[in-house]
């Protein structure tokens, strides 16, 4: 797996964090870059930690399922992408977090919730030829930047782009899974 694929995975994974960051930005009367940085650190940190955890869990299973690892990676990424798209399309009602709190209790729950899919991506990394430390660094940095930008966008534009961002993230994750499968089957190589 190349660096561009990892960058695209990072962008796809960051879309949930982006959507929540937009909501946080919506609740700020005036843009606050300190809070945007805190939000970015929580989301970026967890988006980096979860793939690492998944990677080390997956390494334990690598020898047992090496012959079907590409199918596992494809299925996991496909299901994650479809779930992201489904969640974006589903009506949310008024259940969004609509405050600008950045305390530990608030942010830890949001950071874990938005990074669960990164755990599954980490498991797929264990089956692929991936430098895990470079990958989690890229994913964490991308999520930090996208989350901070999401706070600003939410503060300026409102929730107009939230669903579109989540759908785009799901599509990117699905396309990465398809690419992994096709590359391993030697049908198509990007």
Q: Decide if 190 is inside a domain.
A: no
> What is the predicted pLDDT for the residue at 11?
93
- Residues 77 and 8: beta-carbon distance below 8 Å: no
| DSSP conformation class of 89 | H
pLDDT in tens, 109-143: 878 877 877 888 888 888 787 899 999 999 999 99
Cα 117 to Cα 100: distance, rounded to the nearest angstrom: 24
Mean pLDDT of 39-49: 94
Q: Decide if 189 is inside a domain.
A: no
pLDDT in tens, 109-118: 878 877 877 8
Q: Decide if 18 is inside a domain.
A: yes
Q: Decide if 122 is inside a domain.
A: yes
Q: Decide if 130 is inside a domain.
A: yes
> What is the predicted pLDDT for the residue at 174?
81
Buried b vs exposed e over 168-189: b needs ≥16 C-beta within 10 Å?
Answer: bbbbbbbbbbebbbebbeeeee
Q: Which of 81, 78, 93, 77 is nearest to 166 (CA)?
A: 81
Q: Which of 101, 120, 130, 121 is nearest to 42 (CA)?
A: 101
Q: Decide if 125 is inside a domain.
A: yes
Threshold 0.75, pTM exceeds: no
Number of domains making up the chain: 1
Domain extent, residue 49, equals 3-93+101-184
Integer CA distances (angstroms), 119 to 13, 22, 56, 72, in order:
10, 23, 10, 14
Q: Decide if 155 is inside a domain.
A: yes
The answer on pLDDT for 49 being more than 80 is yes
């Amino acid at each position: 797996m190349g660096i561009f694929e990892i960058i695209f995975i990072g962008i796809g994974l960051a879309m949930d964090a982006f959507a929540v960051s937009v909501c946080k930005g919506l609740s700020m009367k005036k843009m606050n870059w300190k809070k945007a940085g805190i939000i970015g650190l929580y989301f970026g940190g967890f988006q980096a930690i979860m793939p690492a955890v998944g990677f080390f869990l997956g390494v334990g299973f690598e020898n047992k399922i090496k012959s079907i690892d590409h199918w596992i990676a494809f299925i996991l990424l496909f299901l994650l992408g479809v779930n992201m798209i489904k969640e974006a399309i589903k009506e949310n009602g008024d259940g969004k977090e609509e405050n600008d709190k950045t305390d530990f209790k608030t942010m830890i729950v949001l950071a874990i919730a938005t990074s669960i899919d990164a755990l599954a991506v980490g498991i797929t990394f264990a089956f692929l030829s991936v430098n895990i430390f470079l990958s989690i660094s890229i994913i964490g940095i991308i999520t930090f930047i996208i989350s901070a930008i999401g706070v600003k966008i939410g503060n300026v534009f409102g929730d107009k782009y939230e669903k579109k961002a989540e759908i785009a993230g799901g599509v990117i994750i699905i396309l990465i899974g398809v690419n992994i499968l096709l590359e391993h089957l030697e049908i198509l190589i990007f």
